[in-house]
A and B are shown apart, each in its own frame.
Chain A
Amino acid sequence: DAGVIQSPRHEVTEMGQEVTLRCKPISGHNSLFWYRQTMMRGLELLIYFNNNVPIDDSGMPEDRFSAKMPNASFSTLKIQPSEPRDSAVYFCASTYLGGGLGEQFFGPGTRLTVL
Chain B
Amino acid sequence: AQSVTQPDIHITVSEGASLELRCNYSYGATPYLFWYVQSPGQGLQLLLKYFSGDTLVQGIKGFEAEFKRSQSSFNLRKPSVHWSDAAEYFCAVGLNNAGNMLTFGGGTRLMVKP
Contact = CB atoms under 8 A, between A and B. Distances in A.
Interface string B28-65: 00001010100000111110010100000000000000
A61 interface: no
A103 B34 contact: yes
Contacts, number: 57
Nearest to B34: A103
Interface residues of B, number: 22
A56 B99 contact: yes
Interface in B56-114: 90, 94-96, 99-104, 106-107
A5 B51 CA distance: 27
A12 interface: no
Interface of A: 4, 31, 33, 42-43, 45, 48, 50, 55-56, 91, 93, 95, 97, 100-109
